[in-house]
């Protein structure tokens, strides 16, 4: 019995010594895992649709006075574009948007040789080609500003004594600027809210009325507008989804 006890005691001392020796051996440090790179979610091209409101101001200036109006209407259409996201969250892109509008308003001429006449303002559609710069404040959220050129079909028709005596109607060009926010709410799908300002400049025309304006009445037509739009895009992206 005593011999058996001595054997157990020796085994215990041996186990303790082996554990102490193992504790003295330096352990390998755990591998350091690099943080995951920011997902490149916005790189790629897209196509989509939009709807919203347009708020315009049209001015027709004669040598004897000005007729101006503020009006609002519906705007809706589609867009196509491409984006590229750099490391760090900055995004650059280009987009073309085409929308039809319902802008139309009549104003009476209450002065000068055309008193009693009327000016009919219309804007049928606009087409914008813009570059944009944005920043992905979060993987699924993009804040952006944009600017570029705009083309629009607008007209200012002058009617006197029930007869149309002048119609300045053509595709006009100008500039546009704006910005918005876009949210990637599902893989390949995003929604946006944005506002834009458009300036179509001014153009001159002359109308001749045998009695009231035998030498010709010159007028200048100017149109500006602002839009507030919501839309959705389907993205053919080749970047990583932010999920």
Q: What is the rounded distance in angstroms from the CA atom of residue 185 to the CA atom of residue 115? A: 56
Percent of the chain clearing pLDDT 70 (strictly above): 64
The structural domains of the chain, ordered by start, are 40-237 (2.40.160.20)
> Which two structure tokens, joined as six digits, stand for 36?
């995951």
The per-residue pLDDT for 76 is: 97
Read off the pLDDT of residues 154-207 as tens digits, 9 standing for 90 and up: 776 777 767 666 666 678 899 999 999 999 999 899 999 999 999 987 766 666
**Contacts of the segment 65-68: beta carbons below 8 A, 24+ positions apart:** 65/109, 65/111, 65/112, 67/107, 67/108, 67/109, 67/119, 68/107
Res 206: pLDDT: 66
Q: Report the candidate in 125, 127, 123 with the shortest Cα–Cα distance to residue 156.
A: 123
Query: How confident is residue 110, by pLDDT bands cut at 50, 70 and 90?
Result: low
- What per-residue confidence (pLDDT) applies to 128? 98
Give the β-pairing of 118-138 and 44-62.
unpaired
Give whole-number Cα distances, 223 to 25, 125, 129, 173, in Å. Answer: 83, 13, 18, 10
What average pLDDT is seen over the chain? 78
Q: Indicate whether 228 pLDDT > 50.
A: yes
Q: Where is pLDDT greater, at 23 or 76?
A: 76
**pTM for this prediction:** 0.72
């Amino acid at each position: 019995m005593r011999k058996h006890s001595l054997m157990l005691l020796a085994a215990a001392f041996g186990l303790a010594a082996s554990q102490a020796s193992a504790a003295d051996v330096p352990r390998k440090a755990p591998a350091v895992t690099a943080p995951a790179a920011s997902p490149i979610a916005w790189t790629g091209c897209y196509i989509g649709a939009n709807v919203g409101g347009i708020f315009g101001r049209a001015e027709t200036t004669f040598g004897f006075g000005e007729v101006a109006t503020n009006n609002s209407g519906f705007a809706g259409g589609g867009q196509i574009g491409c984006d590229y996201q750099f490391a760090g969250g900055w995004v650059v892109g280009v987009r073309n948007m085409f929308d039809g509008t319902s802008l139309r308003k009549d104003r009476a001429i209450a002065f000068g040789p055309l008193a009693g006449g009327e000016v009919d303002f219309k804007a049928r559609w606009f087409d914008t080609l813009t570059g944009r710069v944005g920043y992905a404040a979060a993987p699924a959220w993009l804040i952006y500003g944009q600017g570029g050129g705009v083309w629009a079909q607008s007209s200012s028709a002058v009617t006197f004594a029930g007869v149309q005596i002048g119609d300045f109607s053509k595709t006009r060009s100008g500039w546009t600027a704006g910005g918005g926010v876009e949210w990637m709410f599902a893989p390949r799908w995003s929604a946006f809210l944005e506002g834009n300002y458009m300036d179509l400049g001014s153009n001159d025309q002359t109308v001749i009325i045998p009695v009231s304006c035998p030498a010709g009445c010159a007028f200048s037509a100017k149109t500006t507008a602002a839009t507030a739009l919501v839309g959705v895009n389907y993205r053919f992206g080749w970047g990583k989804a932010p999920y």
